[in-house]
Amino acid sequence: MITFFEDADSVTKNNKMEPLCTIMGRSDFCEIKGDIRIDGNSYTVFIVSSETDILAAENTSWRIRPYARKGDQTAMGAVREWTLKLVAGGSDIPQCTQNHSVPGILFSAGGYAGNHFHAFTDIIVPLFSTARPYNGEVQFLITNGWSAWIAKFKTILKALSRYDLINIDNRKDIHCFGSMTVGLKRPSYKELSIDPSKSPYSIKDFRQFLRSSYSLKKTRAIKIRNGTKKRPRLLIISRKRSRAFTNVGEIVNMAERLGFRVVVAEPGMDVSGFSQIINSCDVVMGVHGAGLTNIVFLPEKAVLIQVIPFGGAEWLSRTFFEEPAKDMNIRYLDYKIRVEESTLIQQYPADHAVLRDPSVIGKQGWLAFQSIYLQKQNVTIDVNRFRPTLVKALELLHQ
């Protein structure tokens, strides 16, 4: 467990310093006040303290990886480690070259940040929870920052902070603060979620923030009434590399016969543009994957249809999207494909364990499961079998 101590007037009755690092769910974060100096060249946060405070501290140096997916060794291995040091004032500590009058938040865009789902669940949602109380009066410092990621989420970053983002790694200048949070607050182990019992915010507050930030107009999905001529809008999320629909045309034709207006689109780096598309829709369907993260932009009471690929992805599907959708006031349906609807039948003989008993592959570990059932598989929907799922979505829009 990390323990950190404030440097300013915080000695308790036992002459010990108040702990300011918090071990919370998927993240460690430290909230510190005083004379704080950020050296991006050595990845160090110096806290200038008195000799008395240093002597009262149990430790004077701590390490933290400021990314909210603690416990995932692969993710955390791709996050830069920062050192926090209590130091006495003197000529051997770095001198400030830029003083900031607002608090700072230091976080990482390492780990799995290149994946759209993880960008939201590991960074964007925790960043909202951590930064929102400052109402824009906060300075972001990013480590493991890369220009494409920053550009992708610029709308959200600017909505949370009125100040230009500082890419802090390898900088020669020394940025100084009177208050700093190192790491992000993510108390819950649930994905794509905020635990309102441990935060002043909920995932509904986050969705309202997104609607405001991206100027999304539609707040509620269509409610179909008898005699109405307006057709509900269905978005089919397409994919190119894996878990793609091989018969999109058939799905579109069937959906249009049922009364939907159909849009087919694939998410990309233009989050703002795609947020407008998905917010205009009443129903969204797609194979389990990062693209479904965009349900955060759906209007209230919309319907998500998650197509679950063959091979035992039910737990992933439930944890990543079913449970979050319900928390977001989005109606949820799923469709589990049969082996006959998977393109894996064209790659393996009928008696192969991949087709006959996926649990055999599952027991080989995540990489084996991922390499076959997530990376090699596309989906050919049996439109006759799938039709009742779309009919059910229409029924939900009548409610």
CA 86 – CA 278 distance, rounded (Å):
48
Beta bridge partners of 64: 82
CA 115 – CA 291 distance, rounded (Å):
9
Is residue 196 over pLDDT 80?
yes
Q: In whole numbers, what is the pLDDT of the chain averaged over residues?
A: 92
Please give the pLDDT value at position 16.
Answer: 43
DSSP character string of 92-123: TSPPPSEE-SS-EEEEE--TTTTSHHHIIIII
Parse the chain into domains and list their residue ranges: 21-213, 233-397
Please give the pLDDT value at position 54.
Answer: 77
Longest dimension (CA), the chain: 80
Q: Which residues contact 136 (CB under 8 A, 6 or more apart)?
A: 159, 160, 161, 162
CA 79 – CA 133 distance, rounded (Å):
26
Please give the pLDDT value at position 14.
Answer: 41
Identify the DSSP state of 70.
T
CA 38 – CA 44 distance, rounded (Å):
6
Which one is predicted more confidently, 134 or 51?
Answer: 134
No. of H helices and E strands in the chain? Answer: 15, 15
Please give the pLDDT value at position 8.
Answer: 35
In this predicted model, what pLDDT tens digit does every residue of 239-273 receive, in sequence order? 988 999 999 999 999 999 999 999 999 999 999 99
Is residue 160 over pLDDT 70?
yes
In this predicted model, what pLDDT tens digit does every residue of 334-365 receive, in sequence order? 999 999 999 999 999 999 999 999 999 999 99
CATH architecture for segment(s) 233-397: 3-Layer(aba) Sandwich (3.40)
Is residue 5 over pLDDT 70?
no
Please give the pLDDT value at position 17.
Answer: 44
pLDDT category of residue 393 using cuts at 50, 70 and 90: very high
Q: Tell me the average pLDDT across 316-343.
A: 97
Q: Tell me the average pLDDT across 308-324.
A: 96
pLDDT category of residue 127 using cuts at 50, 70 and 90: very high
Q: Which residues contact 311 (CB under 8 A, 6 or more apart)?
A: 342, 344, 354, 358, 361, 362, 369, 372, 373, 377
In this predicted model, what pLDDT tens digit does every residue of 162-190 receive, in sequence order? 999 999 999 999 999 999 999 999 988 99
Is residue 118 over pLDDT 60?
yes
Please give the pLDDT value at position 4.
Answer: 42
User: Is 35 strand, coil or helix?
Assistant: strand
- Cα 279 to chain centroid, rounded: 18
Which of 331, 355, 345 is CA-nearest to residue 382? 345
**For the ranges 54-68, 103-117, 288-302, which has the lowest average pLDDT?**
54-68
In this predicted model, what pLDDT tens digit does every residue of 65-78 receive, in sequence order? 999 999 999 999 99
**For the ranges 115-119, 239-243, 383-387, which has the lowest average pLDDT?**
239-243
User: Is 168 strand, coil or helix?
Assistant: coil
Which one is predicted more confidently, 163 or 9?
Answer: 163
pLDDT category of residue 61 using cuts at 50, 70 and 90: confident
Please give the pLDDT value at position 145.
Answer: 96
- Model pTM score: 0.92
Q: Tell me the average pLDDT across 51-76.
A: 86
Please give the pLDDT value at position 226.
Answer: 79
- Rounded to 5°, angle at Cα 131 from 125 and 133: 115
Is residue 216 over pLDDT 80?
yes
